[in-house]
Amino acid sequence: MTEAPPYPQKRTCPYEPPAGYREIGERGPVLKVTLFDGREAWMVTGYRESREILTHPNLSSQRTHPGFPIVAPRFRSQIARTLALIAMDPPVHDVYRRYLNPHFSLKAVRRMRPEIERIVAGFVDRIVEHGPPADLVPLLAVPLPSLVICRHLGVPYDDHDFFQDASGKVMLGTEEESATAAQELFDYIDRLVAEQIKNPSDGLLGTLVRERVVTGDIGHDELVSIALVLLIAAHETTSSSLALGVITLLEHPEQLALLHEDPDRLPGAVEELLRYIATTDLVATRVAKGDIEIAGHLIREGEGVLVSGTLANRDAAVHRRADELDLLREDSHHLTFGFGIHQCLGQNLARLELEVAFKELFGRLPGIRLAAPVAELPILGAGTVQRVLELPVEW
């Protein structure tokens, strides 16, 4: 194996890491990898080491730093490198989080449960009416998180086709496609925010206008950047996690049987699926703003740092039978939503959507099965992010 193995590597199974990642994990918990542009970056693969470095004061999210590791051409664009929250360090990051945390808290999300249950039931009604075979991507996985975040933000759902397509290109398109789509999304949200400032709605954007824009806490452009991040993050990763979760459960019928046996196991099952699948391979892309000593290595100021959720979540030093899916496991803790100050803002909402969707889908269609072999399912992604393009099922 080379001194600094290549990253990312191509997946051959939607729920298993690329074969080469096993060797990277064995070489960890901290090692250097080679990125697409030939530059090297540090990668942290151990679970404990990942938690340690994600709380280190010398780890920075400043994507405009010349040493920041770009893992794919599409992340070179100016918009991608200046996103609110994601590309910010304290103290500015902490201020933004303080504004947003109450709107995504466990308490706030629990109040949304009845509405999400009605939304999911409506989508499954349409799947049943459609009859087999049915493609769960356009019938459930894509529209569910889109509709939920649209209602939460106060974004017109009539425009969902546009931002679903655009957010997909931002996350998985070529460099040119990603930059163009990001600009189109930015311009769309810019117009939306201008309308909200004139006439605030009851959604989160309208609330932020009343609570933060009018008071001068944040400006127009800042609200646009916040909305852009929330719209893309809430839609793209949850959509993919839902589709990948369905595939994984259908490919592990003995595990799915445990849910049919007792639906109350669903919250724990969602945690195990989040640990096992790795929709997004990296939980952090950072740069050292000062020297960091970790696991016997010295990461110097200005060097890039990647934290692999895929490998940390399958760390055999922390998880028994780490490479097995076990919906009853008690050690299903994971880093899929990150750790520390940048932990995913929407994690409570994502968990609820997955739980409700799995409960309704498998409860209403207990005989559901894949209508095509897993190897033939079109799945876009080369290690950093996965997106299921089609998910045909029958029952």
Inside any domain, residue 131:
yes
Hunting for tokens 């959507």 — which residue is that?
353
Q: Give residue 173's pLDDT.
A: 74
Burial of 197 (0-12, 13-18, 19+ CB in 10 A): middle
- CA–chain centroid gap for 276, Å, is 14
**Per-residue pLDDT at 393 exceeds 90:** yes
The pLDDT of residue 210 is above 60:
yes
Residue 262: predicted pLDDT: 97
Residue 369 clears pLDDT 60, i.e. is over it: yes
Q: Please, which pLDDT band fits residue 191 given cuts at 50, 70 and 90?
A: very high
Strands across the sheet containing 30-34: 30-34, 40-44, 304-308, 282-288, 59-60
Q: Are strands 59-60 and 304-308 parallel, antiparallel or unpaired?
A: unpaired
Instruction: Look up residue 259 and give its two tokens.
Output: 């849910």
The number of folded domains in the chain is: 1
Q: What are phi and psi of 154, to 5 degrees?
A: 90, 30
Gyration radius (Cα) of the chain, Å: 21
Pick the closest to residue 349 from 101, 166, 162, 157 (CA basis): 101
Cα distance between residue 336 and residue 313, in whole Å: 8
Which amino acid belongs to residue 150?
Answer: C
Domain-located, residue 109: yes
Q: Is the pLDDT of residue 1 over 80?
A: no
pLDDT value at residue 382: 58
* pLDDT 10s digits, 113-172: 999 999 999 999 999 999 999 999 999 999 999 999 999 998 888 888 888 888 877 777
CATH of the domain at 241: 1.10.630.10
> What is the SS3 assignment for 256-283?
HHHHHHCHHHHHHHHHHHHHHHCCECEE
Segments forming the whole domain that contains residue 375: 19-394
Backbone phi, psi, residue 6, to 5°: -70, 145
- At 2 the pLDDT is 55
Lowest mean pLDDT among 53-62, 224-233, 267-276, 297-306: 224-233
Percent of the chain with pLDDT over 90: 73
Quick one: 254 exposed, middle or buried, by C-beta within 10 A (0-12, 13-18, 19+)?
A: exposed
Count other C-beta atoms under 10 Å from residue 121's C-beta.
Answer: 12
Residue 338 in domain: yes
Tell me whether strands 282-288 and 387-388 are parallel, antiparallel or unpaired.
Answer: unpaired
Residue 4, domain member (yes or no): no
pLDDT, position 178: 82
User: What's phi and psi for 176, nearest 5 deg?
Assistant: -70, -45
Q: How far apart are CA 240 and CA 205, in angstroms?
A: 25
Spatial separation of the C-alpha atoms in residues 390 and 108, rounded to whole Å: 32
2, part of any domain: no
Name the residue type at position 263.
P
Q: What CA–CA distance (Å, rounded) separates 1 from 64?
A: 32
Asked if the bond preceding 5 is cis, omega within 30° of 0, the reply is no
Quick check: 161 and 140 in contact, CB under 8 A? no
Beta bridge partners of 33: 41
Structure tokens at 265: 């196991």
**Highest mean pLDDT pick, 21-30, 84-93, 114-123, 202-211:** 114-123
Length of the chain: 395
Runs of H (alpha helix) within the chain = 19-27, 47-54, 92-100, 106-111, 113-130, 136, 143-153, 160-172, 175-198, 204-208, 220-250, 253-261, 266-277, 309-312, 347-364
Q: DSSP code of 90?
A: T
In a domain, 231, yes or no: yes
Tell me how far apart the alpha carbons of residues 139 and 391 are, in angstroms, rounded to a whole number: 10
pLDDT digits (tens, 9 = 90+) for 224-258: 999 988 888 888 889 999 999 999 999 999 999 99
Cα distances from 353 to residues 13, 41, 253, in angstroms, run 24, 35, 22
Distance CA 171, CA 279 (A): 12
- Determine if residue 277 is left, alpha or beta; phi over 0 gives left, psi from -120 to 50 gives alpha, anything else beta: alpha
